[in-house]
């Protein structure tokens, strides 16, 4: 890695960190004033007295990605004869709301808890509390800054970020961009306090710094939509006005990817390559269109929650998993791979 790339990498991370600190402070004040916006627990399957009760807490109820997580838990509950309840927040950064839901699950006598933490740091003590009570706690999608949980099913997000950068470089080359011509790529994150997102960001920067041509740069003007797709659309519009020669846009998770796709589609910017995460209607539309170049890192979130339920049952039966983390993997989906058997199989649950 040459010094120019090292400086650009370090500057980008520092600028993002400073932006996050400001955004988090403002966000925390607003959340405290508004109070939590949560969806209280409802059963996902037919409740049978005497069955074990497993409580699933997700990060964002109104999301196609999280609906797949919910479906996986529901199917696992039906297949294994346990009662599954689901609750979650309506704002992806609302860790206070998740704390309330954890307390509700404990008060209801949860036999096990499946949690996708909204904040890897703030909820660490809550996770430790569950674990110390002897209640199995399984993390899905997102890890936490504690070792006091039984297992975490998630994507290896550093590797996923690297794969996203690899796909972006490949698509830029395929679009005819030459290495001696300068270009820039913009990034939108969905949350500044998520370990998942920050690992995908770091992986993207790492691969880019090691493999991109010297004059292909990542904009230091990193957008943060805080899980709000409408805000993400406005941020994208403003970004493209400020950086009209943008050649590519990277969305670190489902919300930003949807926002980027909507804006690029509405503005008919088929000169911009999109690389994002998950499989929403917005990214599907661009991938299938002959007029756009779009790719997504398809996760196996259905497997995360399905296996989370079955592992919780194993834990209740005193069968401890051999590992602490399990990478459920990602698949790169673009127009060329959309009909691959592996992709089709995973998309059955999306």
Percent of the chain with pLDDT over 70: 90
Q: Check whether 22 has a pLDDT greater than 50.
A: no
Mean pLDDT of 17-21: 42
Single pTM value for the model: 0.82
Residues 6+ apart with CB under 8 A from 261: 251, 274, 276, 280, 282, 283, 285, 286, 294
pLDDT of residue 75: 98
Confidence label for 141 from pLDDT (cuts 50, 70 and 90): very high
Whether the per-residue pLDDT at 173 is higher than 80: the answer is yes
Give the best-scoring range by mean pLDDT among 9-13, 216-220, 227-231.
216-220
Residue 189, CB-side half-sphere exposure with 13 Å CA sphere: 25
CB 72 within 8 A of CB 43: no
Domains belonging to the chain, first-starting first, are 35-155+301-319 (3.40.50.2300), 157-299 (3.40.50.2300)
**pLDDT value at residue 36:** 67
Take residue 311 and report the two structure tokens written for it: 């592992």
- pLDDT interval class at 35 (50, 70, 90): low
307 φ, ψ (degrees, to nearest 5) = -70, -30
Model pLDDT for residues 298-345, shown as the tens digit of each residue: 999 999 999 999 999 999 999 999 999 999 999 999 999 999 999 999
**pLDDT, average across residues 119-127:** 95
- Interval 21-25 mean pLDDT: 38
Q: In the chain, which residue ranges form alpha helices assigned H by DSSP?
A: 3-34, 64-80, 95-107, 124-132, 157-174, 195-211, 229-242, 254-266, 281-288, 301-316, 341-347
Residue 10 has a pLDDT of 44
């Amino acid at each position: 890695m040459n010094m120019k790339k090292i400086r650009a990498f370090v500057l980008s991370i520092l600028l993002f960190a400073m932006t996050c600190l400001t955004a988090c402070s403002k966000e925390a004040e607003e959340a405290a004033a508004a109070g939590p916006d949560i969806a209280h627990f409802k059963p996902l399957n037919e409740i049978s007295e005497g069955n074990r009760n497993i409580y699933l807490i997700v990060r964002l109820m109104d999301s196609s990605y999280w609906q797949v997580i919910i479906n996986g838990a529901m199917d696992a509950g039906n297949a294994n004869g346990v009662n599954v309840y689901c609750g979650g927040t309506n704002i992806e950064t609302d860790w206070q709301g998740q704390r309330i839901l954890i307390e509700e699950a404990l008060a209801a006598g949860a036999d096990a808890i499946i949690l996708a933490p909204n904040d890897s740091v703030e909820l660490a003590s809550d996770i430790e509390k569950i674990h110390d009570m002897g209640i199995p706690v399984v993390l899905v999608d997102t890890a936490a800054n504690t070792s006091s949980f039984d297992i975490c099913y998630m994507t290896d997000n550093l590797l996923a970020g690297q794969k996203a950068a690899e796909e972006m470089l490949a698509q830029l080359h395929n679009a005819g961009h030459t290495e001696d011509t300068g270009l820039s790529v913009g990034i939108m994150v969905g949350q500044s306090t998520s370990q998942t997102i920050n690992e995908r960001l770091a992986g993207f920067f790492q691969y880019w710094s090691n493999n991109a041509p010297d004059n292909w740069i990542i904009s230091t003007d990193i957008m943060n939509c805080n899980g709000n797709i409408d805000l993400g659309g406005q941020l994208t519009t403003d970004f493209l006005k400020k950086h009209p020669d943008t050649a590519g846009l990277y969305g670190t998770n489902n919300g930003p990817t949807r926002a980027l796709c909507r804006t690029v589609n509405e503005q008919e910017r088929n000169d911009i390559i999109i690389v994002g995460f998950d499989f929403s209607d917005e990214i599907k539309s661009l991938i299938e269109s002959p007029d756009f170049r779009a790719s997504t890192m398809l996760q196996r979130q259905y497997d995360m929650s399905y296996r989370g339920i079955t592992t919780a049952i194993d834990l209740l039966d005193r069968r401890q998993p051999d590992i602490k983390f399990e990478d459920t993997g990602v698949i790169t989906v673009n127009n060329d791979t959309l009909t691959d058997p592996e992709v089709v199989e995973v998309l059955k649950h999306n």
